[in-house]
Amino acid sequence: MNQVYDHAIEELKRQNIRLSTRRQKVLEYLCHNLVHPTVDRIYVDIKKELPNLSKTTIYNILDTFVDAGLVRIVNIEDNEVRYDIITEPHGHFKCVECGAISDFEIDIDSLALTGLSGCKITDQDVYFKGICPECLLNINNKD
Amino acid sequence: MNQVYDHAIEELKRQNIRLSTRRQKVLEYLCHNLVHPTVDRIYVDIKKELPNLSKTTIYNILDTFVDAGLVRIVNIEDNEVRYDIITEPHGHFKCVECGAISDFEIDIDSLALTGLSGCKITDQDVYFKGICPECLLNINNKD
DNA sequence: TAATAAAATTGTAATGATTACAATTTTGGT
DNA sequence: ACCAAAATTGTAATCATTACAATTTTATTA
């Protein structure tokens, strides 16, 4: 399918995590829908194809993937957890107008910081919020 | 009390937000407890002094303060919202061993990024996780 | 000082996301 | 085909947050 998917499949194999039908569906879904979907979004969409799907299963699978390092939690909003199959370092930008969450490239090592000497760092998340160019246009056109 | 507190008081005045007893207590609490407390922590601690305090009030007051720009939400963990009276740009580091969340200085403008041209940015959050020096020591001493 | 309207607070109930857990189904290896 | 382990399901429980109506407090004005 693509690099991200292939890498995930390899990792699952390496970590002896079975690729069940549900897990494969969720994996495919995440690879095809890079919009950082919520649990409910994933559940509702996959349930169309697999009618007897349980939401608990989605929770379980996502937990499994997160623990395996295949999926990253995007915690940009305090009332909903989102999931991202792209695990390489990058930033997340949420447009507060349209609600879309997009990725942006960052060179995290370029960030000048002090106060973490002696810390072992395992996770780095950069979340920005604001208004995307399209929504800015719409707002300005209302004049 | 201190600069942060004084600034908050001024801002409340400027924005015509009354400094009720509850609001003052919450403000003082946040200024004295820069550990990024949860709603429940704030509620339980202040209730010791004000026994007929309602948790809804804490939610209301924190919402008011966030809307007024006096308090920042710290969303580093997906199952709990935390609050921070320091609104100047800085990063948050959570030690996954002891659970403490500490501040670190960042020069956010030093972060090299691409993909946000044309966006209006209003919020910038930097969340790191890992293990703090003290916990690293404890872990190593277990050998 | 008393009256009054607006704002703040309270307490209860509702909501919604997540988790716990026991029962059932599926899977891979013999 | 059989069996043990793993995965999935569905229901109930939990927990944080919100909605909302009732009550209390506050600032203002008569």
- pLDDT tens-digit profile, chain B (143 residues): 689 999 999 999 999 999 999 999 999 999 999 999 999 999 999 999 999 999 999 999 999 999 999 999 999 999 999 999 999 999 999 999 999 999 999 999 999 999 999 999 999 999 999 999 999 999 998 77
Instruction: Look at residue A1 and tell me whether its pLDDT is greater than 70.
Output: no
Query: What tokens appear for B107 in the block?
Result: 């020069």
Which residues of B in 99-138 have their CB below 7 Å from strand D's atoms?
Answer: none
Q: How far apart are CA A72 and CA A123, in angstroms?
A: 10
Interface residues of chain B, partner chain A, Cβ below 8 Å? 73, 75-78, 81, 91, 93, 95-96, 102-108, 110-133, 136
Sign of CA dihedral B130, B134, B140, B143: negative
* φ, ψ (nearest 5 deg) of residue A76: -75, -25
Tell me what pLDDT residue B143 has. 73
Cα R_g (chain A), whole angstroms:
17
Q: Tell me how crowded residue B48 is: count the other CB atoms within 10 A of its CB.
A: 8
Record: contact A106-B111, CB cut-off 8 A: yes
Tell me what pLDDT residue B1 has. 64
Which tens digits make up the pLDDT trace of A70-93?
999 999 999 999 999 999 999 999
Nearest to B119 among A81, A119, A130 (CB): A130
Distance A61 CA to C25 C1' (A): 17
Residue pointed to by tokens 């106060």:
A115
B contacts of A138 (beta carbons < 8 Å): none
Residue pointed to by tokens 């993937």:
A65
Q: How far apart are CA B143 and CA B134, in angstroms?
A: 16
Q: How far apart are CA B121 and CA A87, in angstroms?
A: 23
Name every residue whose Cβ is closer than 8 Å to that of residue B78 and which is 6 or more positions away in sequence.
A73, A75, A81
Tell me what pLDDT residue A2 has. 86
Instruction: Looking at chain B, list the stretches that DSSP marks H as alpha helix, in order from N- to C-terminal side.
Output: 3-14, 21-32, 39-49, 55-67, 133-141
Q: How far apart are CA B70 and CA B4, in angstroms?
A: 9
Q: What is the 3-state secondary structure (H, E, C) of chain A?
A: CCHHHHHHHHHHHHCCCCCCHHHHHHHHHHHHCCCCCEHHHHHHHHHHHCCCCCHHHHHHHHHHHHHCCCCEEEEEECCEEEEECCCCCCEEEEECCCCCEEEEEEEHHHCEEECCCCCEEEEEEEEEEEECHHHHHHHHHCC
Does the C-beta of B54 come within 7 A of strand C?
yes
* Contact between A119 and A113 (Cβ < 8 Å): no
Q: Considering all nucleic acid strands, name the nucleotide whose C1' atom is nearest to the C-alpha of residue A52.
A: D9
Which tens digits make up the pLDDT trace of A30-57?
999 999 999 999 999 999 999 999 999 9
Residue B88 CA to its chain's centroid (Å)? 11
Record: contact B75-A77, CB cut-off 8 A: yes
Tell me what pLDDT residue A142 has. 79
Tell me what pLDDT residue A143 has. 74
* Contact between B100 and B94 (Cβ < 8 Å): yes
Which tens digits make up the pLDDT trace of A87-130?
999 999 999 999 999 999 999 999 999 999 999 999 999 999 99
